[in-house]
Amino acid sequence: MTLPKIELHLHLEGAAPPAFVRGLATEKKIDISGIFDDRGNYAYTDFWHFLKVYEAATSVLTTPADYARLTRAVLAESAASGVIYSECFLSPDFCGGRDVGAWREYLHAIREAAEEAERQDGITLRGIVTPIRHFGPEKARETALCAAETAGDWLVGFGLAGDEKVGRPKDFAWSFDCAREAGLRLTCHAGEWGGPDSVRDAVRDLRVERIGHGVRAIEDPALVDELAEAGIVLEVCPGSNVALKLYPNFRAHPIEKLMERGVKVTVSTDDPPFFHTTMAREYDALAEAFGWDDGVFRQIADTSIRAAFCMEETRDKILKRLEKAHA
C-alpha cells in the first residue's frame, strides 16, 4: 500500500535488521550468535525473552557512528514503506550509559543521519527519550536529566519502555515531572502486559497524553470512555501484539473496536524485524482483517500527525503532504 504513513511508536534499536546487527557483531568480534535462529532471524520465546534478545542485539551498538548507520538503515526501510514522519524511542541507557556528554554525541550523530534521510528520502524523524522500566527509577532519573538537557525541536518527547510488569508508574513520577518541566511531551508503555489499571495509573500518575499500546483498555468499558473523553492517543502496534501472542490474529485485535468507541488510535510497528513486520505490512493486514479503505487510513494518518510531538511548523508541513497525497 503506497499511502503516506505516520509512525509514532518505534524503538530505534528494535528496528535494527538482524543482518545489520550480525555485521557489527562480526566487525567487533562480539559473539551474539545465540540470538538468531538458523534462518538468521531474531529468535525469542516470549516478551521477556524478547527484551533479553533486544538488549543483546543492542550491545553491538557501541559508538555514535554505529547509531548513525542504524538510523540511516531504519529510515530507508521506513521510507520504502511510505512513512513520511516518524518518532523513535532512544535510550541514553544504551547511548553513552546515561552520561550527558556522551548522550549529546550519540544524539548529534542520530540527528545528522536523520537530516540526511530527510534530504534523500523525504522522511522526517523526531526523538523520544525512554528510560528502561526494569532498570529502575534511579537510572530513569539520570535518563530524564539527559532528556531535559537536550530537549528541543528534535528531541521532543519522553516515555517509558521495558518490562511493564516491573514497578509502578508512580515510581517514575519524578522523571516524568522533570521531562515535562523541560518542555517534553509524554507517553508511556501500558496496557500491553498490564491490564486496564496500568493504563489508568499511567494517565493519572504520569499525566501522559499518549499511551504506548494501551489496547487492553478494551477490557474495561468505563476506561475506554475515559480515554475517548480525555482524547488520549493510543500508539497501537497490532503486528507486535499478534507476534507476541497477545491476540491470535489481526481479526481478533481490538483496534477497530477502540476506534468505534471514539478512542484516538494510531498504527506503528514497535520493533519491526523482531515482529516480521513493516508499516506497509501493518496497513495491508489491517485492510485485509477489517476491510478498511483509504478513508480509514487517512483518518489514522490525520490522528497520528495531530498527536505527533513535533513543533507546529513541522506538523503543518506534514499535514500539507497528506492533503496533497489524498487530493
- Residue 53 CB, shortest distance to ligand HPA, in Å, is 10
CB of 222 to ligand HPA, least distance (A): 26
Q: Which helix (H) or strand (E) holds 266?
A: strand 264-267
Output the residue with the shortest Cβ distance to ligand HPA.
Answer: 161
Q: Using the minimum distance from each CB to Zn ion, give the nearer residue, 256 or 270.
A: 270
DSSP secondary structure of 84-139: EEEEEEE-TTTSSTT-HHHHHHHHHHHHHHHHHHHHHH--EEEEEE--BGGG-HHH
Counting residues that bind ligand HPA (by CB under 6 A) gives: 8
Among 155, 161, 233, 301, binds ligand HPA (CB under 6 A): 161
Residue nearer to ligand HPA on the CB measure, 187 or 314 = 187
Active site residues: 192
**What 8-state DSSP symbol labels residue 9?**
E
Cell numbers for 15 = 528496528
53 - beta bridge partners? none
Binding site partner of 22, from ligand HPA, Zn ion, none, Cβ cut-off 5-8 A by kind: none
Asked if 14 interacts with ligand HPA (CB under 6 A), we say: yes
Per-residue contact track with Zn ion, 266 to 285, x per CB under 5 A?
A: ----x---------------
In whole angstroms, give the CA distance from residue 142 to residue 55: 19
Biggest alpha carbon–alpha carbon distance for the chain: 53
Residue 16 C-beta: closest distance to ligand HPA, Å: 11
Site for ligand HPA in 61-120 (CB under 6 A): none
HSE, side-chain direction, 13 A CA sphere, residue 32: 28
Residue 189 in contact with ligand HPA, rule: CB under 6 A = yes
Please tell me the count of residues contacting Zn ion according to CB under 5 A: 1
Q: Is 142 in the site for Zn ion (CB under 5 A)?
A: no
CB 6 within 8 A of CB 83: yes
Residues 6+ apart with CB under 8 A from 138: none
Footprint on this chain of ligand HPA (rule: CB under 6 A): 11, 14, 54, 161-162, 189, 270-271
